[in-house]
Every structure is written in structure tokens, then in C-alpha cells.
């Protein structure tokens, strides 16, 4: 099996992680921070908005089962790419819509998918998603790993994460991992 890596930010990393863990072709998902200038940031520092980092997920996937373009199509469905530095009530640059590319080919694909999504008129506003090369990915603290799976009863997970997961399951039912 070959494996590729995508790094994406679209609001809270708990939401993205929960969705991508269910997508067929994804082999692993890790929450973390990227896109900023402060080395080894903490969750508290990133939440302050002063590190320049976004909450992101690093998704490892099998390109024979899932194309990078399809991975991005899911990305543009599960968050609002038209709100600058915001997803719902989460406000700040750490919640920005960002694609951090691992190669020139990924950057080209990201621009093409973004144009496709814009042309399709799925969103009313202009897409504000940033596309830039990944410099460094910093893994989030262990308490953020598998957050939704471990804390589905918390208020944030009930009100924010669960509806995004439900929307994903409905929109991409043919792409879900099969239950073991």
C-alpha cells in the first residue's frame, strides 16, 4: 500500500478528525498545529491566537482507495470555507480554513478543487481557504487525540462535532469505512 499525507485546517480539529477517521481510504488522522511561527506550540498558546498556527489534522491515506482531490471535496463539505478566521462560534486565526500542501502536485490539485467548488456554487460567499506549503506540523497533546470518540457527551461535541459527522455520513454514505 502506498500512503500520502494531507494537512488541513477547517475550524476545530476535533470535527475534522472525527469525520476523516470514518472515511474509507484514510489510514490515520492526527490533530495538531501548523501554519504559524512559534515552535512546539501548546493548545493554550494556539487558542490565544498569537502563535499564527491553525488547528489542523494530518490525514494519512491510501491514494489507491481515496484521491487527494476527493479528500479535499470532503474537506470543503464539512466546514464553511467562506468565513474568514471563523467556524461557527469558534473565532480566531487558529480556526481559519487552510490547506497545507506537501508537494507542488497537492498545491495544484488544491487550487483546482477550490475552483471546482467555487464554480459549483455550493457556498454563497467567496472561498477564503488559504493554500500554502506545510513548513512544520506539531502534534496536539494526547488529550486531543480521538476527542469526539472519547467525549461524545460533552456539550461542544453534541452541538458542533456531532452535526458535522452526521452531515458527512449522509453526504458521503458510499465512502464510509465498513464496520468491522
**Phi and psi for 100 in degrees, rounded to 5?**
-105, 110
Q: Which of these, 21, 32, 117, lies nearest to 69 by C-alpha position?
A: 117
**CA-CA distance, 137 to 55, in Å (whole number)?**
10
**CA-CA distance, 43 to 92, in Å (whole number)?**
13
CA 161, distance to chain mean position in Å, is: 12
What is the DSSP-derived secondary structure letter of residue 16?
A: H
The one catalytic residue in 12, 15, 47, 157 is: 12
User: Is 12 annotated in the active site?
Assistant: yes
CA 156 vs CA 88, 147, 170: distances in Å: 12, 11, 21
Helices (H) and strands (E) counted in the chain, each on its own, are 7, 8
Enzyme catalytic residues: 12
Amino acid at each position: 500500500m502506498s500512503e500520502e499525507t494531507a494537512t488541513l485546517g477547517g475550524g476545530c480539529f476535533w470535527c475534522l478528525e472525527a469525520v476523516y477517521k470514518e472515511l474509507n481510504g484514510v489510514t490515520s488522522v492526527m490533530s495538531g498545529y501548523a501554519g504559524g511561527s512559534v515552535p512546539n506550540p501548546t493548545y493554550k498558546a494556539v487558542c490565544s491566537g498569537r502563535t499564527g498556527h491553525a488547528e489542523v489534522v494530518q490525514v494519512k491515506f491510501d491514494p489507491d482507495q481515496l484521491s487527494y482531490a476527493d479528500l479535499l471535496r470532503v474537506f470543503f463539505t464539512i466546514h464553511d470555507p467562506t468565513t474568514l478566521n471563523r467556524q461557527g462560534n469558534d473565532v480566531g486565526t487558529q480556526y481559519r480554513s487552510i490547506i497545507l500542501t506537501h508537494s507542488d502536485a497537492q498545491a495544484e490539485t488544491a487550487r483546482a478543487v477550490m475552483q471546482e467548488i467555487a464554480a459549483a456554487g455550493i457556498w454563497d460567499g467567496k472561498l477564503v481557504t488559504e493554500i500554502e506549503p506545510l513548513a512544520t506540523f506539531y502534534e496536539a497533546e494526547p488529550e486531543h487525540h480521538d476527542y469526539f470518540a472519547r467525549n461524545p457527551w460533552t456539550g461542544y461535541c453534541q452541538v458542533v462535532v456531532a452535526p458535522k459527522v452526521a452531515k458527512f455520513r449522509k453526504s458521503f454514505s458510499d465512502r464510509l469505512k465498513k464496520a468491522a
